[in-house]
Amino acid sequence: MMRLKDPFLLLMGIGLSNVGAWIFLIALNLIVLDETGSALAVGILYVLKPLAALVTNTWAGSLIDRLNKRGLMVFLDILRAVLVAVLPFISSIPLMYAVVFVINMGSAVFYPASMTYMTKLIPREKRQRFNALRSLIGSGAFIVGPAIAGVLFIIGTPEMALYLNAAALFLSGLITLLLPNLEGDSLANSEKFSFELIKADWRVVKDFSRRFIYVMVVYLLFSCMIVMTAAVDSLEAAFSKEVLGLSNSTYGYLVSIAGAGFLVGALVNIAIADKVRDIHLIAFGSVMVSAGYIVYSFSGGFVAAAVGFSLLSFSLAFAETGFDTFIQERIPVEVMGRVSSMYGWLEGVLVIAATVSIGAGAELLSIRGVVIAGAVVMLIVTVFLCIYTLNRLRVKPLEKKTLVSR
């Protein structure tokens, strides 16, 4: 039985990790830029994350669904804390990239593991409210993380910020240890981890996708929306400065408005969590996200861009909460790690392809034209997602039965 303090502890651990992630990102950017003076060297940091996901997600689900989730989460937090603390002592940029790559691999495993653990820990009737609170934590980290990093850079150094991030990850691991152990302490069975086992798990995901097409179509369409947001966001700074003519400080205000919009959306989301179905949150939230990008892409100045940013970030809080609840309700916990990892792998491939394509299009054509095209594609995807989900409202969540052997 879930204790009253368990959701609070879980949210605290998530919050520490999220704040630390923002501090890590900003501090590492500055360290690499100071060491190399190269924007390309900084750009490589952003490529390492999806690459790590591609390398990891093909096999991570096989481990996640068989290992003790709490133990795995604690191990990954401690491992990442140690690696982050080591980074300031590394002078070689290639070696630094290698360590960051391993850290990102740990993060790629951590997300589906934590999602599976949350599903086991939080009762079904409380999941949507919990996901709304988790969205609030994420929006708070979006605002608090960079602010803390900025203060640390004023009174200290980027290296100090990395140490703080390591401490946050370590503390998150300790907090996770206080959560209940919902599983055994070792592998769920005696199967030897091998390539044959991984291939068998790929077939499990394939069979599950065929049996529950509705769930997978929604999953894929929502992932396509996330892919397009990542691709369009990659041109955010260039669009704001070169097309809209915003200064660095004004662009900073624009980013802050996005954070505030997400925060307000998360607060409203908590208020209505018990009154709105996850399907409605996905359907209407996704369409409004793409509508925000449409407004942003056609904007001619700061005010219109701010309206677009506010709308998309406000709506994203609803869409993400609805999606998290949707997969928790409809993907059995026994296969959640494998399904989430494999579809995460596919999403990573699409993010890289879309980002490269939209970047090349901006070079060959125009930044505004490519951003508008990306926003229109996103709108088409989300309208189809909205129609598809609303037409299937009668489909009930799957019962939590073991649909496949582990």
Please say whether the beta carbons of 370 and 238 come within 8 A. Answer: no
**Count of other CB atoms within 10 angstroms of residue 164:** 20
Identify whether residues 241 and 173 lie together within a single domain: no
More confident residue, 105 or 146: 105
In a domain, residue 195? The reply is: no
Identify whether residues 130 and 262 lie together within a single domain: no
Identify whether residues 61 and 118 lie together within a single domain: yes
In a domain, residue 234? The reply is: yes
Asked whether residue 25 carries a pLDDT value surpassing 80, the answer given is no
Identify whether residues 299 and 260 lie together within a single domain: yes
Identify whether residues 310 and 165 lie together within a single domain: no
405: confidence class by pLDDT, cuts 50, 70, 90: very low
Please say whether the beta carbons of 152 and 161 come within 8 A. Answer: yes
Identify whether residues 374 and 247 lie together within a single domain: yes
Question: Which amino acid is residue 171, in one-letter code?
Answer: L
Domain boundary among 177, 209, 240: 177
Asked whether residue 207 carries a pLDDT value surpassing 70, the answer given is yes
The structure tokens listed for 153 are 């850079």
**The residue to which tokens 């204790």 are assigned:** 3
In a domain, residue 188? The reply is: no
Identify whether residues 363 and 226 lie together within a single domain: yes
Mean pLDDT across 333-360 = 86
> For residues 198 and 230, what is the distance between their CA atoms, to the nearest angstrom?
29
In a domain, residue 186? The reply is: no
Mean pLDDT across 94-104 = 93
CATH number at residue 90: 1.20.1250.20
Identify whether residues 244 and 382 lie together within a single domain: yes
Domain membership of residue 228 as a residue range: 200-394
Structural domain count, the chain: 2
Residue-wise pLDDT for 230-259, tens only, equals 888 878 878 888 888 887 678 777 877 887
Least-confidence region, from 67-81, 83-97, 184-198, 381-395 = 184-198
In a domain, residue 193? The reply is: no
Most confident of 171-185, 279-293, 360-374: 279-293
Identify whether residues 155 and 32 lie together within a single domain: yes
Asked whether residue 1 carries a pLDDT value surpassing 90, the answer given is no
Spell out the alpha helix ranges (H) of 156-247.
158-177, 195-211, 213-233, 236-238
Identify whether residues 142 and 44 lie together within a single domain: yes
Contacts (Cβ under 8 Å, ≥6 apart) of 67: 187, 188
> For residues 71 and 33, what is the distance between their CA atoms, to the nearest angstrom?
36
Asked whether residue 384 carries a pLDDT value surpassing 70, the answer given is yes
Mean of pLDDT over the chain: 84
Identify whether residues 272 and 339 lie together within a single domain: yes
Amino acid 396: pLDDT? 52
Asked whether residue 55 carries a pLDDT value surpassing 60, the answer given is yes
360: confidence class by pLDDT, cuts 50, 70, 90: confident
Amino acid 184: pLDDT? 63
- Transcribe 40-82 into DSSP letters: HHHHHHHHHHHHHHHHHHHHHHHHHTTS-HHHHHHHHHHHHHH
Q: Measure CA of the first residue to CA of the last residue in the chain; give whole Å.
A: 24
In a domain, residue 312? The reply is: yes
Amino acid 144: pLDDT? 67
Spell out the alpha helix ranges (H) of 234-335.
236-238, 248-272, 278-297, 302-330
In a domain, residue 194? The reply is: no
Identify whether residues 335 and 285 lie together within a single domain: yes
